[in-house]
Chain A
Amino acid sequence: MYTFSNKLKTFSIILVILGALGVGYGFMTSHKSFEEVEHLLAEEAHHGGGHGEEVHAAAGHDAHANNSHAADTHDDNSHGEEAHAGVDEHTKHIEHVQHQIANRPWAALYVAAFFFMMIALGCLAFYAIQIASQAGWSPVLFRVMEGITAYLLPGAVIVLLIAIASGTIGHYNIFIWMDPDVVAHDKLIQGKSGWLNLPGFAIRGAIFIAGWSFYRYISRKYSRKLEDGEDKGTFKKLFKWSAGFLVFFIYTESMMSWDWIMSVDPHWFSTLFGWYVFASMFVSGITVIALISIYLKSRGHLEFVNENHLHDVAKFMFAFSIFWTYLWFSQFMLIWYSNIPEEVTYFVTRFQDYKLPFLGMVVLNFVFPILMLMNADYKRIPWFVVMTGLVILFGHYIDVFNMIMPATVGDRWFIGIPEIGSILLFAGLFIFIVFTALAKAPLLVKGYPFRKESEEFHY
């Protein structure tokens, strides 16, 4: 049995407290009055002196407001078909920026919450695949996976609550389609309101979470039951539930990605988006399995895990990093190539305002892992896998960041206190819940039929 070390427990609690302070600070400082924003913009215009920024300040408000309309950010006022003749463009611009600034702590919180939730969900899918495919190498890692998936229920509930709260207590800070005022002026969102409405969103979210958590509960139950002795019946039930879950998962994951991520840009749609989000969560989940098993092994808790298991996990990290890139590029290239205005705005905003994170994540998620993990010997060196794993995780945080931020804060993004605070908050929570779950059961699945094969696994 593993016991949650006090050091790690304290560490996770410190992370939560620091993170909560950062998040609190983010919310405290995000409410700017109209005059403050006006002052801020005027100051920004002066800073750029000589670079044509003054032109922007003097005459560019109009152009900017139109840009952001095209870019599909939360420009409440410039949506809609009717012309707002006589409305002061300056006021509209200030209000637009004011809303973006107010969105930032919400979006930062949402990105971090989703990121840690998707690690647990990706891990659960990986776990189900390992059981359904009757893999012979991975059973020694099942308890690590079960530990990670313990975060799924609280994590997913938090994501859903933040999403709903942003449209009820918040001022429609993440999803503009929750704002009845926007919908009233927007024919496109009106056409989608059969799917995009708050009760439907909440009910679908509840169904997704209930289904995932039910599988996690039942698989954990049978996995614990196997400890009493190798029982074919229990294994068969576990197998059937896993296969069934995978069917349920691929539908709900796809719909979840439309609801929780794609609908931040309600004017935009992409067909392979669900797969793309899946690839991101899958590779993050596998990476966290590698990191936690390396940590536990270094503490002497997983003597039955050897470098061959590490090699296999690292191969999955490598392969799914490439798979992610394949989907990322397929989505990007198809839209870039055909250049249809209603689709391409999604990437135009990202290219204009998010160049570094947008292109940087391809380096982090593709170039780095492909070079680091190609060599078979490197995949067997723990510190090497840890280093690459941390880069991959950071890259996939940026991936989620790139999916949410352009639609909520637009060009007002920065990775500062609200973002880092949110990461720390959920990282602390994640560590706390995962390691508490790890301490609840022996780290080896005793009665699992493939346990022996897995213990002797050798590549």
Chain B
Amino acid sequence: MEASKVIHAIYTDDDVLMSAVKKVKAEKHHIEEIYTPFPVHGLDKAMGLAPTRIAITAFMYGLVGLTVAIVMMNFIMIKDWPQNIGGKPSFSYLENMPAFVPIMFELTVFFAAHLMVITFYLRSRMWPFKKAENPDPRTTDDHFLMEVAVHGNESELQNLLAETGAVEINLVDKEAH
């Protein structure tokens, strides 16, 4: 395994960053990662990232929650111990359904929301004692950092990045992860 090298190009403006991304993409260089202090509109599109599927997972989690609510209430209130509580009809699920709708709704939302958030944490590898992967602390404040892989074309890349308006260009050794 060769020790991989990357270039860190630092920008101070999101508009400059956006045009730089487009230029680097046009030159067919692979952008490893971009670090920004805040969401930059259209950056994912410019980088050509695939759209997220988290909404689809949320929909499915919602269906799970709905099913849990229905099965739970059906078992407890109709199958296991069908008591007469205040004259509510406990003969079948459908007859007493309106009373269960608030629970069905809340559990649908609960499952959809919480499982989606957990999915998000898992997919983006975030947890409480996680070591921060931050190549430059300034990127959390007011700098933008673009990481481009080097394959023996250092000077060419450095020239290109300098043209795009980078205020700082650093060649960094990066241990493979």
Contact = CB atoms under 8 A, between A and B. Distances in A.
A14 interface: no
Contacts of A270: none
Interface of B: 55, 59, 87, 98-99, 101
5 contacts: A329-B98, A333-B98, A333-B101, A337-B98, A374-B59
B108 to A, nearest CB: 11
A29 interface: no
Contacts of A333: 98-99, 101
A416 B55 CA distance: 43
A304 to B, nearest CB: 22
A384 interface: no
Contacts of B98: 329, 332-333, 336-337
A336 B89 CA distance: 11
A337 B99 contact: yes
A337 B101 CA distance: 12
Contacts, number: 12
Contacts of A374: 59
B89 to A, nearest CB: 10
A339 interface: yes
Interface in A301-358: 329, 332-333, 336-337, 339
Nearest to B59: A374
Interface of A: 329, 332-333, 336-337, 339, 374, 376
Contacts of A337: 98-99
Contacts of A329: 98, 101
A456 B83 CA distance: 61
Interface SS, A side: helix
A339 B59 CA distance: 35
Nearest to B42: A458
Interface SS, B side: helix
A348 to B, nearest CB: 14
Nearest to A334: B98
A317 B99 CA distance: 27
A374 B59 CA distance: 9
Given A329-B98, A333-B98, A339-B87, 9 more contacts: A329-B101, A332-B98, A333-B99, A333-B101, A336-B98, A337-B98, A337-B99, A374-B59, A376-B55
A283 B121 CA distance: 37
Nearest to B87: A339
Nearest to A375: B55
Q: Which 6 A-B pairs have the closest CB atoms?
A: A333-B98, A336-B98, A337-B99, A329-B101, A333-B101, A337-B98
A337 B99 CA distance: 7
Most chain A CB neighbours (cut-off 10 Å) among B55, B98, B99, B101: B98
A329 B101 CA distance: 9
A336 B99 CA distance: 9
A29 to B, nearest CB: 39
A376 B99 CA distance: 32
Contacts of B101: 329, 333
A86 to B, nearest CB: 37
Contacts of A332: 98
A332 B102 CA distance: 13
A374 B60 CA distance: 13
A95 to B, nearest CB: 36
A95 B177 CA distance: 88
A54 B53 CA distance: 61
A374 B87 CA distance: 38
A44 to B, nearest CB: 29
B171 to A, nearest CB: 38
A329 B102 CA distance: 10
B28 to A, nearest CB: 28
Contacts of A336: 98
B9 to A, nearest CB: 28
Contacts of B59: 374
A346 B55 CA distance: 40
Nearest to A374: B59
Nearest to A376: B55
Nearest to A326: B105
A333 B101 CA distance: 9
A339 B55 CA distance: 40
A307 to B, nearest CB: 16
B12 to A, nearest CB: 26
Nearest to A329: B101
